[in-house]
Amino acid sequence: MLANCLADLTAIGPGGVPAVALALFLAGLAGGATHCSGMCAPFVLAQAGARADRSAGGGMLARLSGAALLPYHLGRMLGYALLGAVAGAGAGLVTQLSGMRWLLALLLLGAAVLMALQASERLPERFRPHGRLAIPALPGLSARLGGLVAPLLAAPTGLRGVGLGLALSALPCGMLYAALAGAAATGSALAGAIAMAAFVLGTVPALVGVALLGRLFLRRAGAGLQLAGAVLFALNAVVLAGMAWRLVA
Protein backbone atom coordinates (compact mmCIF):
# COMPACT_ATOMS: atom_id res chain seq x y z
CA MET A 1 0.00 0.00 0.00
CA LEU A 2 2.78 2.42 0.93
CA ALA A 3 4.61 1.49 -2.28
CA ASN A 4 1.54 2.52 -4.26
CA CYS A 5 1.50 5.92 -2.53
CA LEU A 6 5.12 6.41 -3.44
CA ALA A 7 4.96 5.55 -7.14
CA ASP A 8 1.33 5.43 -8.34
CA LEU A 9 0.78 7.85 -11.23
CA THR A 10 -2.83 6.84 -11.93
CA ALA A 11 -4.61 7.61 -8.65
CA ILE A 12 -6.60 10.41 -10.30
CA GLY A 13 -7.13 8.55 -13.55
CA PRO A 14 -5.26 8.27 -16.86
CA GLY A 15 -3.71 11.57 -17.86
CA GLY A 16 -4.51 13.08 -14.47
CA VAL A 17 -0.92 13.73 -13.38
CA PRO A 18 0.11 15.43 -16.67
CA ALA A 19 -3.02 17.58 -16.46
CA VAL A 20 -2.25 18.68 -12.89
CA ALA A 21 1.42 19.25 -13.73
CA LEU A 22 0.44 21.41 -16.73
CA ALA A 23 -2.04 23.37 -14.62
CA LEU A 24 0.61 24.03 -11.97
CA PHE A 25 3.20 24.95 -14.61
CA LEU A 26 0.79 27.54 -16.04
CA ALA A 27 0.00 28.74 -12.52
CA GLY A 28 3.74 29.16 -11.99
CA LEU A 29 4.02 31.20 -15.18
CA ALA A 30 1.15 33.48 -14.16
CA GLY A 31 2.15 33.73 -10.53
CA GLY A 32 5.83 34.14 -11.33
CA ALA A 33 5.14 37.31 -13.29
CA THR A 34 2.46 38.75 -10.99
CA HIS A 35 3.51 37.57 -7.53
CA CYS A 36 6.90 35.85 -7.25
CA SER A 37 8.69 38.61 -9.18
CA GLY A 38 7.71 41.00 -6.39
CA MET A 39 7.85 38.74 -3.34
CA CYS A 40 11.13 37.05 -4.26
CA ALA A 41 12.74 40.08 -5.95
CA PRO A 42 14.90 41.04 -2.93
CA PHE A 43 16.46 37.57 -2.79
CA VAL A 44 16.91 37.35 -6.56
CA LEU A 45 18.36 40.84 -6.91
CA ALA A 46 20.70 40.27 -3.96
CA GLN A 47 22.04 37.13 -5.62
CA ALA A 48 22.35 38.86 -8.99
CA GLY A 49 24.27 41.69 -7.32
CA ALA A 50 26.58 39.29 -5.49
CA ARG A 51 27.37 37.55 -8.77
CA ALA A 52 27.74 40.74 -10.80
CA ASP A 53 31.48 41.03 -10.23
CA ARG A 54 32.01 37.47 -11.46
CA SER A 55 30.22 38.17 -14.74
CA ALA A 56 31.64 41.67 -15.29
CA GLY A 57 33.48 41.88 -18.59
CA GLY A 58 32.23 38.48 -19.66
CA GLY A 59 29.72 39.71 -22.21
CA MET A 60 26.06 38.85 -22.63
CA LEU A 61 26.56 35.09 -22.20
CA ALA A 62 28.17 35.56 -18.80
CA ARG A 63 25.42 37.98 -17.79
CA LEU A 64 22.70 35.52 -18.80
CA SER A 65 24.47 32.73 -16.94
CA GLY A 66 24.63 34.88 -13.81
CA ALA A 67 20.97 35.85 -14.08
CA ALA A 68 19.86 32.22 -14.47
CA LEU A 69 20.78 31.50 -10.81
CA LEU A 70 20.67 27.78 -11.54
CA PRO A 71 21.75 26.58 -8.06
CA TYR A 72 19.04 28.70 -6.44
CA HIS A 73 16.31 27.38 -8.72
CA LEU A 74 17.58 23.82 -8.26
CA GLY A 75 17.26 24.29 -4.49
CA ARG A 76 13.73 25.67 -4.91
CA MET A 77 12.79 22.72 -7.09
CA LEU A 78 14.16 20.22 -4.57
CA GLY A 79 12.36 21.93 -1.70
CA TYR A 80 9.01 22.22 -3.46
CA ALA A 81 9.27 18.68 -4.88
CA LEU A 82 9.86 17.35 -1.36
CA LEU A 83 6.78 19.20 -0.11
CA GLY A 84 4.79 17.83 -3.04
CA ALA A 85 6.01 14.30 -2.37
CA VAL A 86 4.98 14.50 1.29
CA ALA A 87 1.57 15.96 0.39
CA GLY A 88 0.93 13.42 -2.36
CA ALA A 89 2.03 10.43 -0.31
CA GLY A 90 0.03 11.55 2.73
CA ALA A 91 -3.17 12.09 0.76
CA GLY A 92 -2.70 8.82 -1.12
CA LEU A 93 -2.13 6.84 2.07
CA VAL A 94 -5.23 8.28 3.75
CA THR A 95 -7.30 7.59 0.63
CA GLN A 96 -6.15 3.97 0.37
CA LEU A 97 -6.59 3.25 4.08
CA SER A 98 -10.06 4.77 4.20
CA GLY A 99 -11.22 3.78 0.72
CA MET A 100 -12.60 7.29 0.32
CA ARG A 101 -11.49 8.20 -3.19
CA TRP A 102 -13.54 11.38 -2.97
CA LEU A 103 -10.82 12.84 -0.72
CA LEU A 104 -8.64 13.32 -3.80
CA ALA A 105 -11.54 15.03 -5.54
CA LEU A 106 -11.95 17.29 -2.50
CA LEU A 107 -8.27 18.24 -2.67
CA LEU A 108 -8.60 19.03 -6.37
CA LEU A 109 -11.64 21.17 -5.59
CA GLY A 110 -9.68 22.90 -2.83
CA ALA A 111 -6.88 23.65 -5.28
CA ALA A 112 -9.47 25.01 -7.72
CA VAL A 113 -10.88 27.34 -5.05
CA LEU A 114 -7.40 28.60 -4.12
CA MET A 115 -6.61 29.19 -7.81
CA ALA A 116 -9.87 31.14 -8.13
CA LEU A 117 -8.85 33.27 -5.13
CA GLN A 118 -5.49 33.94 -6.79
CA ALA A 119 -7.39 35.01 -9.91
CA SER A 120 -9.64 37.37 -7.94
CA GLU A 121 -6.64 39.10 -6.36
CA ARG A 122 -5.37 40.02 -9.82
CA LEU A 123 -8.61 41.57 -11.06
CA PRO A 124 -8.98 45.38 -11.24
CA GLU A 125 -9.93 46.79 -7.83
CA ARG A 126 -13.58 47.42 -8.71
CA PHE A 127 -14.12 43.77 -9.67
CA ARG A 128 -12.47 42.21 -6.63
CA PRO A 129 -14.64 40.55 -3.99
CA HIS A 130 -14.37 41.97 -0.49
CA GLY A 131 -11.79 40.30 1.68
CA ARG A 132 -8.54 38.55 0.79
CA LEU A 133 -7.03 35.17 1.47
CA ALA A 134 -5.11 35.60 4.70
CA ILE A 135 -1.82 33.75 5.02
CA PRO A 136 -1.29 32.84 8.66
CA ALA A 137 1.91 34.18 10.16
CA LEU A 138 4.23 31.67 11.76
CA PRO A 139 5.82 33.20 14.89
CA GLY A 140 9.57 33.47 14.63
CA LEU A 141 9.73 31.97 11.14
CA SER A 142 10.93 35.17 9.45
CA ALA A 143 13.65 35.70 12.05
CA ARG A 144 14.89 32.12 11.82
CA LEU A 145 14.90 32.17 8.02
CA GLY A 146 16.63 35.56 8.04
CA GLY A 147 19.47 34.20 10.15
CA LEU A 148 19.75 31.19 7.85
CA VAL A 149 19.71 32.95 4.48
CA ALA A 150 21.96 35.93 5.34
CA PRO A 151 25.27 34.04 4.95
CA LEU A 152 23.93 32.20 1.89
CA LEU A 153 23.01 35.47 0.16
CA ALA A 154 26.53 36.77 0.70
CA ALA A 155 27.94 34.13 -1.67
CA PRO A 156 24.99 32.49 -3.47
CA THR A 157 26.92 30.09 -5.70
CA GLY A 158 27.16 26.33 -5.86
CA LEU A 159 25.80 24.52 -2.81
CA ARG A 160 25.13 27.82 -1.05
CA GLY A 161 22.72 28.75 -3.83
CA VAL A 162 21.04 25.35 -3.57
CA GLY A 163 20.75 25.79 0.19
CA LEU A 164 19.22 29.24 -0.27
CA GLY A 165 16.57 27.85 -2.60
CA LEU A 166 15.82 25.05 -0.14
CA ALA A 167 15.50 27.47 2.77
CA LEU A 168 13.21 29.87 0.93
CA SER A 169 10.88 27.07 -0.19
CA ALA A 170 9.62 27.09 3.42
CA LEU A 171 8.14 30.60 3.11
CA PRO A 172 4.33 30.57 3.53
CA CYS A 173 2.51 31.72 0.40
CA GLY A 174 -1.04 31.53 -0.96
CA MET A 175 0.21 30.28 -4.31
CA LEU A 176 2.20 27.57 -2.55
CA TYR A 177 -0.91 26.37 -0.71
CA ALA A 178 -2.85 26.19 -3.96
CA ALA A 179 -0.08 24.24 -5.68
CA LEU A 180 0.31 21.86 -2.74
CA ALA A 181 -3.41 21.11 -2.74
CA GLY A 182 -3.10 20.11 -6.39
CA ALA A 183 0.02 18.05 -5.69
CA ALA A 184 -1.68 16.27 -2.77
CA ALA A 185 -4.62 15.40 -5.02
CA THR A 186 -2.33 13.30 -7.23
CA GLY A 187 -2.31 10.69 -4.45
CA SER A 188 1.36 9.68 -4.64
CA ALA A 189 4.78 10.97 -3.66
CA LEU A 190 6.22 10.69 -7.16
CA ALA A 191 3.28 12.43 -8.81
CA GLY A 192 3.23 15.15 -6.13
CA ALA A 193 6.93 15.80 -6.64
CA ILE A 194 6.47 15.99 -10.43
CA ALA A 195 3.57 18.43 -10.06
CA MET A 196 5.51 20.76 -7.76
CA ALA A 197 8.62 20.60 -9.96
CA ALA A 198 6.42 21.72 -12.86
CA PHE A 199 5.13 24.60 -10.70
CA VAL A 200 8.70 25.75 -9.97
CA LEU A 201 9.64 25.55 -13.66
CA GLY A 202 6.77 27.90 -14.42
CA THR A 203 8.10 30.53 -12.00
CA VAL A 204 11.66 30.47 -13.36
CA PRO A 205 11.27 32.73 -16.45
CA ALA A 206 9.92 35.66 -14.42
CA LEU A 207 12.62 35.35 -11.77
CA VAL A 208 15.34 35.16 -14.43
CA GLY A 209 13.81 38.33 -15.89
CA VAL A 210 14.05 40.02 -12.49
CA ALA A 211 17.70 39.02 -12.12
CA LEU A 212 18.54 40.16 -15.65
CA LEU A 213 16.57 43.39 -15.87
CA GLY A 214 16.13 44.24 -12.19
CA ARG A 215 13.50 46.77 -11.25
CA LEU A 216 12.68 47.48 -14.89
CA PHE A 217 10.98 44.07 -15.06
CA LEU A 218 8.88 44.84 -11.99
CA ARG A 219 7.76 48.21 -13.37
CA ARG A 220 6.62 46.55 -16.60
CA ALA A 221 4.48 44.03 -14.69
CA GLY A 222 1.46 46.33 -14.85
CA ALA A 223 -2.31 46.00 -15.03
CA GLY A 224 -2.33 44.09 -18.33
CA LEU A 225 -0.03 41.40 -16.97
CA GLN A 226 -2.07 41.18 -13.78
CA LEU A 227 -5.26 40.66 -15.80
CA ALA A 228 -3.60 37.99 -17.95
CA GLY A 229 -2.53 36.24 -14.75
CA ALA A 230 -6.10 36.39 -13.44
CA VAL A 231 -7.40 34.74 -16.62
CA LEU A 232 -4.79 31.98 -16.40
CA PHE A 233 -5.52 31.28 -12.74
CA ALA A 234 -9.26 31.21 -13.47
CA LEU A 235 -8.67 28.74 -16.31
CA ASN A 236 -6.65 26.51 -13.98
CA ALA A 237 -9.46 26.65 -11.42
CA VAL A 238 -11.94 25.43 -14.04
CA VAL A 239 -9.61 22.61 -15.16
CA LEU A 240 -8.96 21.39 -11.61
CA ALA A 241 -12.65 21.60 -10.69
CA GLY A 242 -13.47 19.58 -13.82
CA MET A 243 -10.97 16.91 -12.80
CA ALA A 244 -12.56 16.79 -9.33
CA TRP A 245 -15.97 16.25 -10.89
CA ARG A 246 -14.61 13.50 -13.14
CA LEU A 247 -13.28 11.62 -10.10
CA VAL A 248 -16.66 11.45 -8.39
CA ALA A 249 -18.99 11.32 -11.39
Query: Is this structure's pTM higher than 0.85?
Result: no
Question: For the chain, what is the domain count?
Answer: 1
Domain of 234 in residue numbering reads as: 26-124+155-248
> Does 232 map to a domain?
yes
Half-sphere exposure of 86 (CA within 13 A, CB side): 6
> Does 133 map to a domain?
no
| Element spanning 112, H or E | helix 102-121
Q: Going residue by residue through the chain (249 aa), what tens digit of pLDDT does each one get? A: 555 555 566 667 778 888 899 999 999 988 887 777 667 777 777 777 666 655 544 555 555 555 678 888 999 999 999 999 999 888 888 877 776 667 777 888 888 887 888 777 767 666 555 544 444 544 555 555 556 666 776 666 778 888 888 888 877 777 888 899 889 988 888 999 999 999 999 999 888 887 777 655 555 555 566 676 677 778 878 877 887 777 666
Half-sphere exposure of 241 (CA within 13 A, CB side): 11
Neighbours of 157 (CB within 10 A): 18
At 108, the amino acid letter reads: L
> Does 212 map to a domain?
yes
> Does 8 map to a domain?
no
> Does 130 map to a domain?
no
> Does 145 map to a domain?
no
> Does 131 map to a domain?
no
- Asked if 42 contacts 240 with a C-beta cutoff of 8 angstroms, the reply is no
Q: Among candidates 165, 244, 192, which has minimal Cα distance to 5?
A: 192
Please tell me the distance from the alpha carbon of residue 171 to that of residue 210, in angstroms, as a whole number.
19
